[in-house]
Chain A
Amino acid sequence: METRDGDDLDGRRLTRRALIAGGLQAMAFGVIGVRLFQLQVVEGQRLRVLADGNRVNVRPLLPRRGRILDRSGRVLASNVERFRVWIRPGDRSRMRSSLQRLAPLIGLSDSDINGLVEKARAQPRNRALLVRSGVDFQTIAQIGLRAPELPGVETDVAFDRAYAYGVATGHVVGHIGGVDRPAMDDEAFLRLPDARVGKTGVELGLERDLRGEAGQTRIEVDARGDLVRVIAESEPVSGRDVILTIDAGLQQRVLDRLSSEVRAAAVVLDVETGEVAVMASVPSYDPNALTLHFDEADFARMERDPHKPLVNRAIAGLYPPGSTFKMVTALAALEAGVITTNERVACSGAFAFAGETFKCWNRGGHGSVDLADAIRKSCDVYFYELAERLGVDRIAAMAKTLGLGQTYACGLGGQKDGLIPTTGWKLAVKGERWLRGETILAGIGQGFVLTTPLQLAVMTARLATGRAVVPTLVRMDGGPRGPGSLFPPLPIAAAGLDAVRRAMIGAVHAPDGTGGNAALDVGDVLIAGKTGTSQVWSSARQPAPRDDRYELRDHALFVSFFPAASPRYAVSLVVEHGGSGGQTAAPLVRDIARLVLAEAALAAVPVVESGR
């Protein structure tokens, strides 16, 4: 190998110095390694105890959930205390001896004890294990007294939700459940396994009021996780009690009446205050089955049930309103000036438009009809003509004015919007141009139009009062709003509203009205109403299938307000696949009206003070 003196010298010097520097580096790594060995292996045990020993635990204290009451103070949802016994394992022998002393108090078998000890093996030793839930208070007190000989045993209280009226108020009150996916910005206590939040109904809609605020206790714990001392404690703030506008008794009676049907929903509104007096959905469910007496199989069965008992049809059932929508079309036409109350339209039983034929329900035709005739007899052709003159957007505007196609901040979670179609909606959602034939269907509440029973009740209340009634389930300050705070009037001419109201009285009380079955047989109370029979399967353009399967039958609807002279209540009712509105829905509304009036008469009786 050829070498040069200088380079050789440099090369050797570098190798020497590189070895020295490398050696120093290796030594430094060695020192660190020894230090780690000392800290992690030799002193590990001692430092681990230190790590556990200086631990401060923050334990959230769950707030008590607010109660839910009905309008007369009956408790619909309340909290039931459930005492629980826990054990913090510590070491295995301590755990076993504690459990053996605990056994006679709460009745633990040897296999229970073995099972718990096995379980403790699979988890951190300072995490508490549930021993028994639902222990009575005397036993809890005894455990407290004997605490010194039961190291590691802890007791606490959890709250279960009980729904006193069960099925009757199931959908309105709703139920609570575990937190599905706690978000990071949620309050910390929601991440606890015991935390419960509203899932449906008022429990969901008024969650903020009902929930309350968690407290917390900062405690110092020792290496086993046992309490050493409480450092600081802040009490939880209980949730607010909520008083609802519904009447549990009336609700129960209406639901009983409705249970003759397979699937149905009804809403009764106080037209002056917007208070929801009854909200019924059939089939109903017992929320206790989802909380107090939770049963996995029961829940699965309810979820699978084709009649969907967990769905509140009054707010989440979407139905074409059918002929109950005709008041909307009528008022839109009167406001737009495309018709007068006196103008007559000839009904031959069918309406020809752009090469298509739209049939009237009465194939024989209604002859020459004016507005009152058309609403009373529910003539389809008259409204086809109005719809064609109006265009869908003006119909939609009136539908919105009357409260359709929207949800209300009434305290209920899970409301559906429904659908009031417009040309803009179709372009935006379906990307297609609006067809004029679709306007004709919309004019009689078919085609794309979808509403909920709550919306139909609001529509009826607005027709009855001419005011922008907004429904509510929460009773304000325990009483109805005063006369000074009526809802603002709707921008609709009084004459038109009057004509429509008179026609609705005719629909029930005139001999040729379609809603005759709703007429009350008590007193001289007049009822105003409108039938609706909405087609599920076919549009008016296609003949209904010859099939009589349940799912293909028409929905039966009825909307009504009464007493017609000075309206107090608005009712909407849908019987899913119930057949005809006049045959199925009208009699049910009559019975509901009777129940409501009876209840009102009862409430109107002045309470006699019992003091003598």
Chain B
Amino acid sequence: MRPMATAAGGLRVLSGLPRTHWAVLALVSLLCGIGIATLYSVEGGSFQPWAERHGLRFLVGLACILVMLTVPAAVWFRLAVPAYLTALFLLVLVPVLGSQVLGARRWLDFGFVSFQPGELMKVALVLMLAAYYHWLPRERVSDALWVALPVLLIAIPAVFTLRQPDLGSALLYAITGFGIMFLAGVSALYFAGAAVALAAALPLIWSSLHDYQRRRIEVFLDPGSDPLGAGYHIQQSKIALGSGGVSGTGYMKGSQSQLDFLPEKHTDFIFTMFAEEWGFAGAVGLLALQAALIFVLWRIMMTAGSLFAQVLAAGAALTIFLYAVVNAAMVTGLVPVVGVPMPFVSYGGTSMLSLMAALGLALSAAADRGFGASGRPWNGRRSGV
């Protein structure tokens, strides 16, 4: 593609962008802004070392989205299989080449760039499933063979991630993947069967978990059992939330967080930090922003012109939803600590960029009204026009 044509195309695409797209970009910017402000407070009023880099990553991500908007959906469609295979290959490579951080091998270091292939897989899996359901004739969606294939596509990376070990990502693949299958119209009977099988397999899963994962679940069930050990995080997080009260302790004045009682406050526990300084009102406000973002993506899914775009939008929405809810549930002690970031707010390059990429794919595919008009979009009322 010639650069001039790309630039001109980019302008044309931007000028014709639907309002929902602008809403997504605005909400993401707002959330990243909250992230920068909170990271500034984490360091007691310094842009170093977190806030500045967070802002930089946001700008890079935003630029990526804008560039992605100029790419026709057909290109993404053709990229699905190679992207999935590449991500899978890197994921397999991690146990061999990965560097160990805090007891888990999740990172690949290529010298010039290091990242977690697990995050790449989150985008690639959604893209793969989108292409798959776009390609699959409607009437075969619930055929056993065509149900088994996506289950395999989901299960293979999930098993590899579980062995890293990264329980959080594995669960995320599973829930996002099965969520997409559910939305794609796979017969409800399969889901009912899976639920029964899961219940039966629970003891088996428990025995296959790592010690620290089991310990986390135990501590979660009774945090008081180990107040200074594994329960410490949850306990301190709850205290910080309580200390925030209704209206918060005030920006940069969170006593629990500023006095270092709170662990990992720039990544996994940033929501606690925010909720202490801005109180219940602020915490609800932040979650409302996340919910609004998910709602807008849901709207995009309902109105998109192609099945491909619809699955991508659903995938992005589900990923953000799972991140936000699991993170909030984790720091409020509702679920065990699994290490999931608060989308766009937590410090972390790979998760930020993979979320941006997921959004970029969904927005790009949904903006391409020409793609898949001859295909089989889910929403018949639109395709008939």
Q: Per-position contact with A for B342-385: 1 when CB-CB < 8 Å, else 0? A: 00000000000000000000000000000000001111110111
**Residues from chain A with Cβ under 8 Å of B321 in the complex:** 25, 28
Is residue B83 contacting chain A, with contact meaning CB distance below 8 A? no
Contact across chains for A48 and B243 when beta carbons are under 8 A apart: yes
Q: Per-position contact with A for B280-311: 1 when CB-CB < 8 Å, else 0? A: 10011001000100110010011000000010
Looking at chain A's contact residues, the main secondary structure is helix
Contact across chains for B377 and A50 when beta carbons are under 8 A apart: no
Contact across chains for A40 and B279 when beta carbons are under 8 A apart: yes
- A43, closest chain B residue (CB): B242
Segment of A4-12, A305-313, A411-419, A517-525 in the binding face: A4-12
Contact across chains for A8 and B380 when beta carbons are under 8 A apart: yes
Q: Nearest Cβ in chain B — how far from A42, in angstroms?
A: 9
Q: Per-position contact with A for B133-169: 1 when CB-CB < 8 Å, else 0? A: 0000011000000000000000000000000000000
Looking at chain B's contact residues, the main secondary structure is helix
CA distance A279 to B208 in the complex (A): 82
**Residues from chain B with Cβ under 8 Å of A55 in the complex:** 255, 259
CA distance A386 to B198 in the complex (A): 103
Contact across chains for B302 and A15 when beta carbons are under 8 A apart: yes
Q: Which of A2, A18, A41 contacts B301 (CB 8 A)?
A: A18
Contact across chains for B284 and A33 when beta carbons are under 8 A apart: yes
**Residues from chain A with Cβ under 8 Å of B310 in the complex:** 14
CA distance A7 to B244 in the complex (A): 51
Contact across chains for A13 and B185 when beta carbons are under 8 A apart: yes
In chain B between 158 and 187, which residues have their CB closer than 8 angstroms to a CB of chain A?
A: 179, 182-183, 185
Is residue B81 contacting chain A, with contact meaning CB distance below 8 A? no
Q: Which of A11, A25, A33, A45 contacts B294 (CB 8 A)?
A: A25
**Residues from chain A with Cβ under 8 Å of B259 in the complex:** 55
Segment of B26-34, B110-118, B328-336 in the binding face: B328-336
Contact across chains for B183 and A17 when beta carbons are under 8 A apart: yes
Is residue B10 contacting chain A, with contact meaning CB distance below 8 A? no
Contact across chains for B381 and A11 when beta carbons are under 8 A apart: yes
Is residue B256 contacting chain A, with contact meaning CB distance below 8 A? yes
Is residue A31 contacting chain B, with contact meaning CB distance below 8 A? yes
Is residue B25 contacting chain A, with contact meaning CB distance below 8 A? no
Q: Per-position contact with B for A38-73: 1 when CB-CB < 8 Å, else 0? A: 011101111110111011000000000000000000
Contact across chains for B183 and A14 when beta carbons are under 8 A apart: yes
**Residues from chain A with Cβ under 8 Å of B301 in the complex:** 18
Q: Nearest Cβ in chain A — how far from B335, in angstroms?
A: 10
**Residues from chain B with Cβ under 8 Å of A4 in the complex:** 380, 383-384
Q: Which of A13, A21, A35, A43 contacts B329 (CB 8 A)?
A: A35
Segment of B53-61, B91-99, B121-129, B233-241 in the binding face: B233-241
Q: A17-B182, A17-B185, A47-B238 are in contact. Are A41 and B294 (CB under 8 A)?
A: no
Q: Nearest Cβ in chain A — how far from B194, in angstroms?
A: 16
Is residue B65 contacting chain A, with contact meaning CB distance below 8 A? no
Contact across chains for A31 and B376 when beta carbons are under 8 A apart: no
Contact across chains for A47 and B380 when beta carbons are under 8 A apart: no
- A50, closest chain B residue (CB): B239
CA distance A4 to B384 in the complex (A): 7
Contact across chains for A46 and B379 when beta carbons are under 8 A apart: no
Q: Which of B242, B284, B328, B329 has the most CB of A within 10 A?
A: B242
Contact across chains for A32 and B179 when beta carbons are under 8 A apart: no
CA distance A574 to B333 in the complex (A): 77
Q: Per-position contact with B for A178-208: 1 when CB-CB < 8 Å, else 0? A: 0000000000000000000000000000000
Q: Per-position contact with A for B239-255: 1 when CB-CB < 8 Å, else 0? A: 11111111000000001
CA distance A18 to B318 in the complex (A): 11
Contact across chains for A10 and B239 when beta carbons are under 8 A apart: no
Contact across chains for A40 and B283 when beta carbons are under 8 A apart: yes
Q: Which of B182, B241, B283 has the most CB of A within 10 A?
A: B241
Contact across chains for B380 and A48 when beta carbons are under 8 A apart: no
Contact across chains for B380 and A11 when beta carbons are under 8 A apart: yes
CA distance A272 to B138 in the complex (A): 104
Q: A3-B380, A7-B383, A18-B298 are in contact. Are A36 and B280 (CB under 8 A)?
A: yes
CA distance A197 to B218 in the complex (A): 53
Q: Nearest Cβ in chain B — how far from A48, in angstroms?
A: 5
Is residue A495 contacting chain B, with contact meaning CB distance below 8 A? no
Q: A33-B287, A39-B241, A40-B275 are in contact. Are A18 and B332 (CB under 8 A)?
A: no
Q: Nearest Cβ in chain A — how far from B329, in angstroms?
A: 6
Q: Nearest Cβ in chain B — how far from A182, in angstroms?
A: 13
CA distance A41 to B240 in the complex (A): 12
**Residues from chain B with Cβ under 8 Å of A28 in the complex:** 321, 325, 329
Contact across chains for B246 and A31 when beta carbons are under 8 A apart: no
Is residue A37 contacting chain B, with contact meaning CB distance below 8 A? yes
Q: Nearest Cβ in chain A — how far from B292, in angstroms?
A: 11
**Residues from chain A with Cβ under 8 Å of B378 in the complex:** 10-11, 13-14
CA distance A11 to B302 in the complex (A): 9
CA distance A85 to B46 in the complex (A): 35
Contact across chains for B242 and A47 when beta carbons are under 8 A apart: yes
Q: Nearest Cβ in chain B — how far from A608, in angstroms?
A: 65
Q: Which of B182, B185, B280, B385 contacts A40 (CB 8 A)?
A: B280
- B307, closest chain A residue (CB): A10
Q: Which of A9, A14, A40, A51 contacts B255 (CB 8 A)?
A: A51
Contact across chains for B329 and A32 when beta carbons are under 8 A apart: yes
Q: Nearest Cβ in chain B — how far from A35, in angstroms?
A: 5
Contact across chains for A46 and B334 when beta carbons are under 8 A apart: no
**Residues from chain A with Cβ under 8 Å of B280 in the complex:** 36-37, 40-41, 44
- A14, closest chain B residue (CB): B378
With A40-B242, A54-B261 known, 9 other A-B pairs at CB within 8 A are A2-B385, A4-B383, A7-B379, A13-B185, A15-B302, A15-B379, A36-B283, A40-B244, A43-B242
Spell out A's residues near B (CB within 8 Å).
Answer: 1-4, 6-11, 13-15, 17-18, 21-22, 25-26, 28-29, 31-33, 35-37, 39-41, 43-48, 50-52, 54-55
3 smallest CB-CB distances across A and B, nearest first, come from A47-B242, A7-B380, A11-B380
Could you show 19 A-B contacts with beta carbons less than 8 Å apart?
A: A1-B384, A7-B376, A9-B380, A10-B138, A10-B376, A10-B379, A10-B380, A14-B185, A18-B298, A25-B321, A35-B333, A35-B334, A36-B280, A39-B242, A40-B244, A44-B246, A44-B280, A45-B242, A48-B243
Spell out B's residues near A (CB within 8 Å).
Answer: 138-139, 179, 182-183, 185, 238-246, 255-256, 259, 261, 275, 279-280, 283-284, 287, 291, 294-295, 298, 301-302, 310, 321, 325, 328-329, 332-334, 376-381, 383-385
